[in-house]
Amino acid sequence: MPSSAETTTPRGTVTVTEGRGSPLVIERCTPGPVSTAAVSTERAATVPFSTVHGRMLADQRGRAEGTLSTDQLLLFSPDPVVTLGSAGAESDLLLGRAALIERGVEIFTVDRGGETTYHGPGQRVGYLTLWLGEDERDLHRLLRSIEGALIDSLGELGLRGGRIEGKTGVWIEGRKIASIGLSVRHWVTGHGFALCVSGDLDPFSWIVPCGTQNCPYTTLEHELGGAPPPWDLDAILSKHFALHLDRVPQFDPKNDRE
């Protein structure tokens, strides 16, 4: 069973559930800028993981230092990549590192909580850069809010998503459709979620995804009989994330790199 630990910060104490599968990574936190109560959504097409990960780290640092004044939701589609979080292990790579690379899959160890997962074409990944006010620092409640935003987004598409007790993510009748993993630095979040929209799910069988071997996955395309238009999906995600995070959505079609 996971154990609980307290992380003391200059502005309070955060209780964090520790365990191999914890979806959170927390660094020592310091006071940050006052939230603008808005979240700006930016859309990008398929991009190399290293590029967007570097962008996320820069945004996270800028938000903590106050040079970035607005919370961000960056939506993008990744090239094939396997990422190992703080609880990830080499043994999670069932095919082995060399075989994955031969299949065109990059491998990165990253600064988020959780274990090992796959991202690739057909997924919509959302990186959340949020400065957390003093009343928002219950990080497990934050995870539930992210799940809630995804569940309500699925609901708007006509699907009934849900949670599984003891696990982080979103499922449809036992089939996983979204994964979540976060980092928190100086009370600013990084990383976020991955929603399976369409595409090949076989790469999940090449690894132990999120600590569960042979975990069944599904996609919006499979559940709906077709994938929703990308712009429509991003607008839905932007709206529900703003609602669940108690922020004003800023979703400008001109703020778009597709």
Question: Tokens for 190?
Answer: 């990084």
Residues forming a β-bridge with 183: 25, 190
CA distances from 218 to 80, 137, 175 (A): 17, 32, 6
Residue among 29, 196, 210, 215 flagged as catalytic: 210
CA distances from 31 to 12, 39, 66, 71, 120 (A): 10, 20, 11, 16, 36
Cβ contacts of 138 within 8 Å, gap of 6 or more: 14
3-class secondary-structure state, position 52: helix
Residues forming a β-bridge with 129: 72
Cα dihedral: 165, 166, 170, 172 (round 10): -40
Annotate 120-160 with DSSP letters as a single string: -TTEEEEEEE-BPPGGG--HHHHHHHHHHHHHHHHHHTT--
Cβ contacts of 225 within 8 Å, gap of 6 or more: none
Among 218, 135, 99, 130, residue whose Cα is nearest residue 169:
218
The residue count for the chain: 258
Indicate if 210 belongs to the active site: yes
Active site residues: 210
